[in-house]
A = this chain, B = another copy of it.
Amino acid sequence: MRLLKVDTLEEARNKLLKAVAGKDPGTENVGFAESLGRIVAEDIEAVENVPGFTKSTVDGYAVKAANTQGVSESVPVFLDVVDEIRMGEAPEKTIRDGQTSYVPTGGMLPEGADAVVMIEHTEKFDEKSIAVYDAVSDGRNVIREGEDIGRGSVFIKRGTRVRPQEVGVMASAGVSHVKVFRPWRISVISTGDELIGVNEELAAGKTRDINTHSLSASAAKYGFEVIGTSVLKDDRGLIKEAIKEAMAVSDVVLVSGGSSQGEKDYTADIMDELSDAGVFTHGIAIKPGKPTILAYDGASGTVLAGLPGHPAAAVMIFELLIGWLYRQLTDQREPRAITARVTENVAAAGGKATCLLLELRLGSDGTYEAEPILGKSGLMTTLTRADGYAVIDTNSEGLKQGETVSVVLF
Protein backbone atom coordinates (compact mmCIF):
# COMPACT_ATOMS: atom_id res chain seq x y z
CA MET A 1 0.00 0.00 0.00
CA ARG A 2 2.96 2.40 0.32
CA LEU A 3 1.43 5.47 -1.32
CA LEU A 4 4.01 8.18 -1.56
CA LYS A 5 1.88 10.80 -3.20
CA VAL A 6 -1.34 12.47 -2.16
CA ASP A 7 -4.13 12.62 -4.73
CA THR A 8 -5.91 15.66 -6.00
CA LEU A 9 -9.64 15.65 -5.24
CA GLU A 10 -10.28 14.77 -8.87
CA GLU A 11 -7.81 11.87 -8.81
CA ALA A 12 -9.33 10.53 -5.59
CA ARG A 13 -12.83 10.75 -7.08
CA ASN A 14 -11.77 9.01 -10.27
CA LYS A 15 -10.07 6.20 -8.36
CA LEU A 16 -13.10 5.80 -6.12
CA LEU A 17 -15.49 5.67 -9.05
CA LYS A 18 -13.28 3.15 -10.82
CA ALA A 19 -12.92 1.01 -7.70
CA VAL A 20 -16.68 0.74 -7.12
CA ALA A 21 -17.48 0.20 -10.83
CA GLY A 22 -18.97 -3.21 -10.12
CA LYS A 23 -21.09 -2.08 -7.20
CA ASP A 24 -24.84 -2.28 -7.70
CA PRO A 25 -26.34 0.77 -6.01
CA GLY A 26 -29.43 -1.33 -5.36
CA THR A 27 -33.09 -0.49 -5.88
CA GLU A 28 -36.43 -1.10 -4.24
CA ASN A 29 -40.08 -0.55 -5.06
CA VAL A 30 -42.00 1.93 -2.96
CA GLY A 31 -45.48 3.42 -3.09
CA PHE A 32 -45.42 6.62 -5.13
CA ALA A 33 -46.46 8.78 -2.16
CA GLU A 34 -43.59 7.37 -0.08
CA SER A 35 -41.06 8.20 -2.77
CA LEU A 36 -40.74 11.87 -1.77
CA GLY A 37 -37.06 12.77 -1.52
CA ARG A 38 -35.94 9.46 -3.01
CA ILE A 39 -34.00 9.02 -6.25
CA VAL A 40 -35.86 7.40 -9.14
CA ALA A 41 -33.94 4.36 -10.42
CA GLU A 42 -35.48 3.94 -13.86
CA ASP A 43 -37.22 6.12 -16.42
CA ILE A 44 -40.96 6.19 -15.79
CA GLU A 45 -43.04 5.75 -18.91
CA ALA A 46 -46.72 6.70 -19.08
CA VAL A 47 -49.14 3.82 -19.62
CA GLU A 48 -52.06 6.19 -20.16
CA ASN A 49 -52.66 9.66 -21.54
CA VAL A 50 -52.86 12.56 -19.09
CA PRO A 51 -55.41 13.95 -19.22
CA GLY A 52 -57.31 10.90 -20.38
CA PHE A 53 -59.70 13.08 -22.41
CA THR A 54 -59.78 16.60 -23.81
CA LYS A 55 -61.01 18.85 -21.00
CA SER A 56 -62.00 22.43 -20.45
CA THR A 57 -59.74 24.71 -18.38
CA VAL A 58 -62.57 27.17 -17.70
CA ASP A 59 -66.26 27.27 -16.91
CA GLY A 60 -67.90 27.96 -20.26
CA TYR A 61 -69.39 26.64 -23.46
CA ALA A 62 -67.84 23.99 -25.67
CA VAL A 63 -67.99 25.04 -29.33
CA LYS A 64 -66.66 24.41 -32.79
CA ALA A 65 -64.09 27.24 -33.00
CA ALA A 66 -65.04 27.80 -36.63
CA ASN A 67 -68.54 28.81 -35.48
CA THR A 68 -67.09 31.81 -33.62
CA GLN A 69 -65.11 33.24 -36.55
CA GLY A 70 -65.61 36.99 -36.83
CA VAL A 71 -67.56 37.17 -33.59
CA SER A 72 -67.00 40.20 -31.32
CA GLU A 73 -68.59 42.19 -28.48
CA SER A 74 -70.86 43.88 -30.99
CA VAL A 75 -71.38 40.96 -33.35
CA PRO A 76 -72.38 37.89 -31.34
CA VAL A 77 -73.23 34.47 -32.69
CA PHE A 78 -76.18 32.52 -31.31
CA LEU A 79 -75.75 28.85 -30.47
CA ASP A 80 -78.23 26.23 -29.31
CA VAL A 81 -77.39 24.70 -25.92
CA VAL A 82 -77.83 20.95 -26.33
CA ASP A 83 -76.37 19.68 -23.05
CA GLU A 84 -75.00 20.57 -19.64
CA ILE A 85 -71.94 18.41 -19.12
CA ARG A 86 -71.35 17.29 -15.55
CA MET A 87 -68.00 16.83 -13.85
CA GLY A 88 -66.77 13.30 -14.05
CA GLU A 89 -69.24 12.25 -16.69
CA ALA A 90 -68.86 11.60 -20.40
CA PRO A 91 -70.91 13.98 -22.60
CA GLU A 92 -73.76 12.31 -24.44
CA LYS A 93 -74.39 14.84 -27.18
CA THR A 94 -72.13 15.56 -30.13
CA ILE A 95 -71.70 19.23 -31.04
CA ARG A 96 -72.73 20.12 -34.57
CA ASP A 97 -72.56 23.49 -36.30
CA GLY A 98 -74.66 26.02 -34.40
CA GLN A 99 -74.64 23.96 -31.20
CA THR A 100 -72.90 24.19 -27.84
CA SER A 101 -72.85 22.47 -24.44
CA TYR A 102 -72.08 23.97 -21.06
CA VAL A 103 -68.87 22.53 -19.63
CA PRO A 104 -67.37 23.19 -16.18
CA THR A 105 -63.63 23.62 -15.49
CA GLY A 106 -62.11 20.16 -15.80
CA GLY A 107 -65.14 18.81 -17.59
CA MET A 108 -64.84 16.60 -20.68
CA LEU A 109 -65.26 18.19 -24.08
CA PRO A 110 -68.06 16.69 -26.15
CA GLU A 111 -67.36 15.17 -29.53
CA GLY A 112 -67.41 17.78 -32.28
CA ALA A 113 -66.23 20.62 -30.03
CA ASP A 114 -62.64 21.85 -30.23
CA ALA A 115 -62.63 24.96 -28.01
CA VAL A 116 -64.40 26.55 -25.06
CA VAL A 117 -65.75 30.09 -24.75
CA MET A 118 -65.48 31.43 -21.18
CA ILE A 119 -68.86 31.92 -19.54
CA GLU A 120 -67.98 35.61 -19.03
CA HIS A 121 -68.05 36.03 -22.81
CA THR A 122 -71.53 34.56 -23.23
CA GLU A 123 -75.04 35.55 -22.33
CA LYS A 124 -78.21 33.52 -21.97
CA PHE A 125 -80.44 34.40 -24.86
CA ASP A 126 -83.43 32.21 -24.17
CA GLU A 127 -84.10 28.84 -22.51
CA LYS A 128 -82.32 26.95 -25.23
CA SER A 129 -79.66 29.25 -26.63
CA ILE A 130 -76.82 31.62 -25.78
CA ALA A 131 -75.13 34.60 -27.40
CA VAL A 132 -71.33 34.23 -27.78
CA TYR A 133 -69.26 37.44 -27.83
CA ASP A 134 -65.76 36.07 -28.28
CA ALA A 135 -63.98 34.45 -31.20
CA VAL A 136 -61.97 31.45 -30.05
CA SER A 137 -59.37 29.51 -31.98
CA ASP A 138 -59.14 25.73 -32.21
CA GLY A 139 -57.85 24.41 -28.84
CA ARG A 140 -58.63 27.59 -26.89
CA ASN A 141 -59.35 26.97 -23.16
CA VAL A 142 -58.87 23.23 -23.47
CA ILE A 143 -56.19 20.74 -22.56
CA ARG A 144 -56.12 17.99 -25.13
CA GLU A 145 -56.04 14.30 -24.32
CA GLY A 146 -52.40 13.43 -23.61
CA GLU A 147 -51.24 17.05 -23.73
CA ASP A 148 -49.76 16.89 -20.21
CA ILE A 149 -48.26 13.41 -20.63
CA GLY A 150 -48.52 11.33 -23.77
CA ARG A 151 -48.97 7.56 -23.42
CA GLY A 152 -45.57 5.91 -23.88
CA SER A 153 -43.53 9.00 -23.13
CA VAL A 154 -40.95 9.16 -20.32
CA PHE A 155 -42.19 11.73 -17.85
CA ILE A 156 -39.77 11.18 -14.98
CA LYS A 157 -36.15 10.29 -15.66
CA ARG A 158 -33.81 7.98 -13.78
CA GLY A 159 -31.77 10.02 -11.33
CA THR A 160 -34.60 12.44 -10.51
CA ARG A 161 -35.05 13.37 -6.88
CA VAL A 162 -38.77 13.12 -6.17
CA ARG A 163 -40.30 16.48 -5.18
CA PRO A 164 -43.98 17.17 -4.40
CA GLN A 165 -44.65 17.79 -8.08
CA GLU A 166 -43.22 14.40 -9.08
CA VAL A 167 -45.51 12.77 -6.51
CA GLY A 168 -48.38 14.68 -8.08
CA VAL A 169 -47.50 13.75 -11.62
CA MET A 170 -47.22 10.07 -10.67
CA ALA A 171 -50.69 10.30 -9.15
CA SER A 172 -51.99 11.91 -12.32
CA ALA A 173 -50.61 9.12 -14.49
CA GLY A 174 -51.79 6.25 -12.33
CA VAL A 175 -48.28 5.22 -11.26
CA SER A 176 -48.86 3.64 -7.87
CA HIS A 177 -45.36 2.28 -7.32
CA VAL A 178 -41.94 3.44 -8.34
CA LYS A 179 -38.49 1.90 -8.41
CA VAL A 180 -36.08 4.03 -6.40
CA PHE A 181 -32.52 3.53 -5.28
CA ARG A 182 -32.39 1.91 -1.89
CA PRO A 183 -30.74 3.92 0.86
CA TRP A 184 -27.12 3.04 1.39
CA ARG A 185 -26.34 1.41 4.71
CA ILE A 186 -23.76 3.40 6.59
CA SER A 187 -21.69 2.58 9.66
CA VAL A 188 -19.87 5.31 11.51
CA ILE A 189 -16.91 4.58 13.74
CA SER A 190 -15.30 7.38 15.70
CA THR A 191 -11.97 6.62 17.36
CA GLY A 192 -9.99 8.33 20.07
CA ASP A 193 -9.03 7.84 23.69
CA GLU A 194 -10.22 11.35 24.47
CA LEU A 195 -13.82 10.88 23.34
CA ILE A 196 -16.79 11.06 25.70
CA GLY A 197 -20.54 11.22 25.05
CA VAL A 198 -22.83 14.21 24.93
CA ASN A 199 -24.21 13.51 28.42
CA GLU A 200 -20.95 12.66 30.16
CA GLU A 201 -19.16 14.91 32.62
CA LEU A 202 -16.47 16.93 30.85
CA ALA A 203 -13.03 16.24 32.35
CA ALA A 204 -9.68 17.81 31.48
CA GLY A 205 -8.35 16.41 28.21
CA LYS A 206 -11.68 14.86 27.24
CA THR A 207 -13.60 15.91 24.15
CA ARG A 208 -17.18 15.12 23.31
CA ASP A 209 -17.56 12.82 20.32
CA ILE A 210 -18.96 14.85 17.45
CA ASN A 211 -18.28 12.74 14.39
CA THR A 212 -20.70 9.86 14.93
CA HIS A 213 -23.47 12.46 15.25
CA SER A 214 -22.54 14.88 12.49
CA LEU A 215 -21.67 12.08 10.04
CA SER A 216 -24.87 10.19 10.86
CA ALA A 217 -26.77 13.40 10.16
CA SER A 218 -24.84 13.91 6.92
CA ALA A 219 -25.77 10.38 5.90
CA ALA A 220 -29.42 10.96 6.84
CA LYS A 221 -29.43 14.10 4.68
CA TYR A 222 -28.74 11.84 1.70
CA GLY A 223 -31.48 9.45 2.76
CA PHE A 224 -28.95 6.85 3.86
CA GLU A 225 -29.69 4.43 6.63
CA VAL A 226 -27.25 4.63 9.51
CA ILE A 227 -27.14 1.06 10.75
CA GLY A 228 -24.59 1.50 13.47
CA THR A 229 -22.35 3.98 15.20
CA SER A 230 -19.57 3.32 17.65
CA VAL A 231 -17.07 5.32 19.61
CA LEU A 232 -13.90 3.33 20.22
CA LYS A 233 -10.68 3.70 22.15
CA ASP A 234 -7.67 4.02 19.91
CA ASP A 235 -6.92 0.30 19.93
CA ARG A 236 -5.87 -1.52 16.78
CA GLY A 237 -7.65 -4.77 17.61
CA LEU A 238 -10.90 -3.09 18.60
CA ILE A 239 -10.97 -0.90 15.52
CA LYS A 240 -10.16 -3.73 13.14
CA GLU A 241 -12.89 -5.90 14.60
CA ALA A 242 -15.42 -3.08 14.39
CA ILE A 243 -14.60 -2.29 10.75
CA LYS A 244 -14.77 -5.97 9.84
CA GLU A 245 -18.17 -6.41 11.48
CA ALA A 246 -19.49 -3.24 9.87
CA MET A 247 -18.29 -4.30 6.41
CA ALA A 248 -20.51 -7.37 6.51
CA VAL A 249 -23.65 -5.23 6.62
CA SER A 250 -22.70 -1.80 5.21
CA ASP A 251 -22.28 -0.11 1.87
CA VAL A 252 -19.97 2.45 3.41
CA VAL A 253 -17.93 2.31 6.59
CA LEU A 254 -16.78 5.69 7.82
CA VAL A 255 -13.93 5.81 10.29
CA SER A 256 -12.97 9.18 11.69
CA GLY A 257 -9.88 9.95 13.69
CA GLY A 258 -6.65 8.05 13.35
CA SER A 259 -6.05 9.02 9.75
CA SER A 260 -3.24 11.56 10.25
CA GLN A 261 0.45 10.72 10.62
CA GLY A 262 0.46 10.31 14.40
CA GLU A 263 1.80 7.30 16.21
CA LYS A 264 -1.49 5.50 16.58
CA ASP A 265 -2.61 5.94 12.98
CA TYR A 266 -3.13 2.40 11.82
CA THR A 267 -6.52 2.97 10.19
CA ALA A 268 -4.92 2.84 6.74
CA ASP A 269 -3.16 -0.44 7.53
CA ILE A 270 -6.37 -2.01 8.81
CA MET A 271 -8.34 -0.87 5.76
CA ASP A 272 -5.63 -2.19 3.49
CA GLU A 273 -5.74 -5.61 5.17
CA LEU A 274 -9.53 -5.84 5.14
CA SER A 275 -10.21 -4.78 1.55
CA ASP A 276 -9.47 -6.95 -1.47
CA ALA A 277 -8.54 -3.98 -3.65
CA GLY A 278 -6.56 -2.34 -0.87
CA VAL A 279 -6.14 1.31 0.00
CA PHE A 280 -5.91 3.35 -3.18
CA THR A 281 -5.90 6.85 -1.75
CA HIS A 282 -4.02 7.94 1.34
CA GLY A 283 -4.04 11.68 1.51
CA ILE A 284 -5.92 14.19 -0.63
CA ALA A 285 -4.44 17.57 -1.52
CA ILE A 286 -7.35 19.51 -0.11
CA LYS A 287 -7.73 21.84 2.79
CA PRO A 288 -9.23 20.75 5.09
CA GLY A 289 -9.25 16.99 4.67
CA LYS A 290 -5.75 15.94 3.73
CA PRO A 291 -5.63 12.80 5.92
CA THR A 292 -8.33 10.97 4.00
CA ILE A 293 -8.08 7.24 3.27
CA LEU A 294 -10.08 5.37 0.64
CA ALA A 295 -10.35 1.65 0.05
CA TYR A 296 -12.89 -0.68 -1.49
CA ASP A 297 -13.73 -4.27 -0.79
CA GLY A 298 -15.35 -5.85 -3.82
CA ALA A 299 -16.30 -9.06 -2.01
CA SER A 300 -18.61 -7.29 0.42
CA GLY A 301 -19.25 -4.29 -1.82
CA THR A 302 -18.10 -1.91 0.89
CA VAL A 303 -16.46 1.48 0.54
CA LEU A 304 -14.04 2.14 3.40
CA ALA A 305 -13.39 5.78 4.10
CA GLY A 306 -11.00 7.06 6.71
CA LEU A 307 -12.05 10.63 7.41
CA PRO A 308 -10.16 13.35 9.23
CA GLY A 309 -10.67 13.54 12.96
CA HIS A 310 -11.46 17.25 12.75
CA PRO A 311 -15.26 17.27 12.72
CA ALA A 312 -15.63 20.07 10.18
CA ALA A 313 -13.19 18.38 7.82
CA ALA A 314 -14.92 15.01 8.26
CA VAL A 315 -18.29 16.49 7.24
CA MET A 316 -16.73 18.21 4.22
CA ILE A 317 -14.95 15.08 3.01
CA PHE A 318 -18.18 13.10 3.41
CA GLU A 319 -19.91 15.66 1.19
CA LEU A 320 -17.12 15.79 -1.39
CA LEU A 321 -16.56 12.05 -1.68
CA ILE A 322 -19.42 9.90 -0.36
CA GLY A 323 -22.25 12.28 -1.28
CA TRP A 324 -20.64 12.81 -4.65
CA LEU A 325 -20.17 9.06 -5.22
CA TYR A 326 -23.83 8.36 -4.47
CA ARG A 327 -24.92 11.02 -6.94
CA GLN A 328 -22.62 9.51 -9.56
CA LEU A 329 -23.88 5.96 -9.11
CA THR A 330 -27.51 7.03 -9.11
CA ASP A 331 -27.22 9.40 -12.09
CA GLN A 332 -28.17 12.45 -10.09
CA ARG A 333 -27.38 15.93 -11.18
CA GLU A 334 -24.85 17.88 -9.11
CA PRO A 335 -26.55 20.39 -6.80
CA ARG A 336 -27.30 23.89 -8.06
CA ALA A 337 -24.84 26.46 -6.79
CA ILE A 338 -25.36 30.08 -5.84
CA THR A 339 -23.22 32.55 -7.74
CA ALA A 340 -21.75 35.19 -5.44
CA ARG A 341 -19.01 37.79 -5.32
CA VAL A 342 -16.33 37.08 -2.74
CA THR A 343 -15.90 39.98 -0.28
CA GLU A 344 -12.15 39.74 0.17
CA ASN A 345 -9.01 38.33 -1.37
CA VAL A 346 -8.42 34.65 -0.65
CA ALA A 347 -4.90 33.32 -0.94
CA ALA A 348 -4.29 30.08 -2.80
CA ALA A 349 -3.21 27.09 -0.73
CA GLY A 350 -0.07 26.29 -2.73
CA GLY A 351 -0.52 22.89 -4.38
CA LYS A 352 -3.71 22.07 -2.52
CA ALA A 353 -7.34 22.63 -3.41
CA THR A 354 -9.25 24.59 -0.80
CA CYS A 355 -12.73 23.92 0.36
CA LEU A 356 -13.62 27.49 1.20
CA LEU A 357 -16.50 28.00 3.63
CA LEU A 358 -18.68 30.97 2.81
CA GLU A 359 -21.38 33.01 4.44
CA LEU A 360 -23.85 34.55 1.99
CA ARG A 361 -25.34 38.00 2.21
CA LEU A 362 -28.02 39.24 -0.15
CA GLY A 363 -27.08 42.64 -1.52
CA SER A 364 -29.59 45.39 -2.22
CA ASP A 365 -29.25 44.68 -5.95
CA GLY A 366 -30.52 41.12 -5.46
CA THR A 367 -27.12 39.47 -5.95
CA TYR A 368 -25.14 37.66 -3.29
CA GLU A 369 -21.91 38.50 -1.56
CA ALA A 370 -19.92 35.62 -0.10
CA GLU A 371 -17.78 36.25 2.93
CA PRO A 372 -15.01 33.69 3.46
CA ILE A 373 -14.99 32.07 6.88
CA LEU A 374 -11.34 31.92 7.68
CA GLY A 375 -11.35 30.28 11.12
CA LYS A 376 -9.17 27.31 11.97
CA SER A 377 -10.39 24.12 10.37
CA GLY A 378 -10.75 22.44 13.75
CA LEU A 379 -13.59 24.77 14.69
CA MET A 380 -17.01 23.25 14.20
CA THR A 381 -18.63 26.68 14.29
CA THR A 382 -16.93 27.60 11.00
CA LEU A 383 -19.33 25.06 9.46
CA THR A 384 -22.41 26.31 11.28
CA ARG A 385 -21.66 29.89 10.25
CA ALA A 386 -21.30 28.79 6.62
CA ASP A 387 -24.18 28.76 4.18
CA GLY A 388 -22.13 26.72 1.77
CA TYR A 389 -18.74 26.15 0.26
CA ALA A 390 -16.75 26.55 -2.90
CA VAL A 391 -13.93 24.32 -4.00
CA ILE A 392 -10.97 26.44 -5.12
CA ASP A 393 -8.91 24.48 -7.61
CA THR A 394 -5.37 23.28 -6.88
CA ASN A 395 -3.99 25.39 -9.69
CA SER A 396 -5.94 28.51 -8.81
CA GLU A 397 -4.01 31.61 -7.88
CA GLY A 398 -6.57 32.36 -5.21
CA LEU A 399 -9.54 34.68 -5.41
CA LYS A 400 -9.60 38.42 -5.85
CA GLN A 401 -12.12 40.51 -3.97
CA GLY A 402 -15.25 40.83 -6.11
CA GLU A 403 -14.47 37.69 -8.10
CA THR A 404 -17.38 35.32 -8.70
CA VAL A 405 -17.56 31.95 -6.92
CA SER A 406 -20.08 29.10 -7.14
CA VAL A 407 -21.35 28.36 -3.66
CA VAL A 408 -22.76 24.90 -3.03
CA LEU A 409 -25.31 25.20 -0.23
CA PHE A 410 -25.20 22.84 2.74
Interface residues of A (CB under 8 A from B): 32-33, 36, 48, 50-53, 55, 57, 59, 86-91, 104-108, 119, 143, 147-149, 155-156, 163-176, 192-195, 198-199, 202-211, 213-218, 220-221, 234, 260-264, 309-312, 315, 336-339, 360, 366-368, 376-381, 383-384, 386-387, 404, 406, 409-410
Contacts and interface: CB of A to CB of B under 8 A. Distances in A.
Contact of A148 (B106, B203, B379): B379
Given A207-B51, A213-B171, A261-B59, A380 B148 contact: yes
B174 A208 contact: yes
A236 B296 CA distance: 63
A155 B108 contact: no
B198 A171 contact: yes
Contact of A366 (B52, B53, B216, B404): B404
Given A90-B203, A107-B205, A176-B199, 16 more contacts: A53-B205, A59-B261, A59-B262, A86-B193, A87-B193, A88-B192, A88-B207, A105-B262, A106-B192, A108-B204, A143-B379, A167-B216, A168-B383, A174-B198, A174-B202, A336-B387
Given A53-B205, A409-B336, A384 B166 contact: yes
A171 B52 contact: no
A165 B409 contact: no
Question: Number of copies of this chain in the oligomer?
Answer: 2
A383 B336 CA distance: 17
Nearest to A203: B90
Q: Which residue, A86, A194, A311, A384, has most C-beta atoms of chain B within 10 A? A: A384
A88 B163 CA distance: 46
A56 to B, nearest CB: 10
A355 B70 CA distance: 33
Nearest to A335: B409
B213 A167 contact: yes
A208 B378 contact: no
B381 A155 contact: yes
A179 to B, nearest CB: 16
A87 B404 CA distance: 42
Nearest to A310: B57
Contacts of A50: 380
A216 to B, nearest CB: 7
Contacts of A383: 165, 168-169
B210 A171 contact: yes
Contacts of A310: 57
Contacts of A59: 260-263
A235 to B, nearest CB: 12
